[in-house]
Every structure is written in structure tokens, then in C-alpha cells.
Amino acid sequence: MRQLCMPQGLAADEMPKLESLICTARAVRRGEAVYRIGDPFESLYAVRSGSLKTVMAHRGGREQVTGLRLAGEALGLDGISEDRHACSAIALEDSSVCIIPYGALKTMCREVSAMQERLHRLMSEQLIRESAQMMVLGSLSADERVAAFLLDISERNAQRGYSSAEFNLRMTREDMGSYLGMTLETVSRTLSRLQKRGLIDTQGKFIRIVDIEGLRQI
């Protein structure tokens, strides 16, 4: 469990130092925020269990889901730039996050180069992830967006040792639509269409991928 809070890539003799990152856990109930837009930035977070969405707002109040974080993924990097959070992180189900004080982490990154490396990679990975999502939003049709989304979740589940074929999407159709740049009705229609084509099987938020190759082909 402790591994979740900045795992992999650390040599054995560096572990004691890792311990100094007093990495306390925090429970968040569904709908609750780990942090909100404008909150002062103090810590990064690692999702320990559950899942969260990140939400940004336009001037004018319109909100959009900009990200989805599953167990094992990092949260809060947006706060570093301006010392306050640029988005809100809302739990999609009762979840638990690991609190990683940024000050301590910085110190550790200066002492342990593997940790520095790991943090850099984490940020770079997220940059790529967001670029990929920009491509989804910028050049895919509704069908393609939904298929790409399901495949992304599937892959991330697989990486974390869960089933890549079936999962419970905790977000609403509206959240999905917001993340994918379409209306909740179009999301619903698209899922129905994919089901009729025999590519997936949906029961509300529970989704099973029947023909993963077919999904990729879209």
C-alpha cells in the first residue's frame, strides 16, 4: 500500500529516506473535494483507492471535466505553478488519497536522484496524457471518442492489475460527456450504438468490453 505513494525506481538503500515522507492518508466521500480551484497548494496526492475527476471552470462558470484519476495515479501537480490549485479534484466514489507534502518531496528529490527522476517522469507522462486527450477532442468523432475513452480506462485498469474487460465507471454520462466534449445524450446514444454493434455490453455504469479489437477498429 505504501508503494502507491511514489513507488518504483527506488533502490533498496533509499527506502529509509522515503519513510521520511510522512505520507498520511485521507478519506474523501463521494462528491467531496480533495482540493478546490484556488486552494493554496501544499501537497501532491496519490489515489490510494477509489477514483476522482478533476474539473476546471471557464470564466462564466461553465465547468468541464479535464481528467480522471484511478487508484495508483497522481493528483495535484497543477498546483505547483501558481502555488494554488488550477482545478478541483472531486471524488467519484468514496475514496482515499495519500498526502505527499510538496516541500518534503522537493527536498527528497534533491537528495535522491531516483526520486527526482520519478517525479519528472510523472509530470511528463501527464503532459503526454493531456496532449493525447487534446487529440481526442480535436479530431475524433463521437463514436471514436467514446471508444478511445473505454480503451483508455481498460488499459489503465490492466496496468493496475484489474480487469481490462469490465469495470464500473463511477462517473455519470454527463461527466463523460464533459470530459469527451459532447452532450450526455450523445454519450448515451453512442454507448447504445456500440452495444447494438456487439462491441460492448452496458448496464448503466457497469461496462463490459466484448470485442476489444472491434473497438480499436473504430
- Chain residues that interact with DNA, rule: CB under 7 A: 141-143, 172-174, 181-189, 191-192, 202-206
Q: How far apart are CA 142 and CA 106, in angstroms?
A: 41
Closer by beta carbon to DNA, 43 or else 186? 186
CB-wise, 119 or 207, nearer to DNA?
A: 207
With contacts defined by CB under 8 A, name the span among 3-11, 45-53, 109-117, 195-203 that binds its own copies: 109-117
Please report whether residue 141 would count as binding its own copies according to CB under 8 A: no
Give yes or no for residue 137 binding its own copies (CB under 8 A).
yes
Q: What is the rounded CA–CA span in Å between residue 78 and residue 64? A: 15
203 near its own copies, judged by CB under 8 A: no
Instruction: Look up cell 482515499; give the residue.
Output: 96
Nearest distance, CB of residue 167 and its own copies, angstroms:
23
Taking CB under 8 A as the criterion, the residue among 67, 73, 100, 176 binding its own copies is 67
- Cβ contact 59:112 at 8 Å: no
Q: Residue 101 and residue 193: Cα distance in Å, rounded? A: 46
The set of residues, in sequence order, having a beta carbon less than 8 Å from that of 18 and lying 6+ positions away, is: 6, 10, 108, 112, 115
Q: How far apart are CA 57 and CA 185, in angstroms?
A: 22
Using the rule CB under 8 A, which residue among 77, 90, 200, 215 binds its own copies? 77
Cα angle, residue 157 at apex, residues 211 and 42 outer, rounded to 5°: 150
Burial (CB count within 10 angstroms: exposed 0-12, middle 13-18, buried 19+), residue 22: exposed
Do residues 52 and 75 make contact, with C-beta atoms less than 8 angstroms apart? yes
- From residue 5 to residue 44, the character string flagging contacts with its own copies as x (rule: CB under 8 A) and all else as - is ----------------------------------------
Q: Binding to its own copies by residue 155, rule CB under 8 A? A: no
Instruction: List residues near its own copies by CB under 8 A.
Output: 54, 56, 58, 62, 64, 66-67, 77-82, 86-87, 106, 109-111, 113, 116-117, 120-121, 123-128, 130-135, 137-139, 178-181
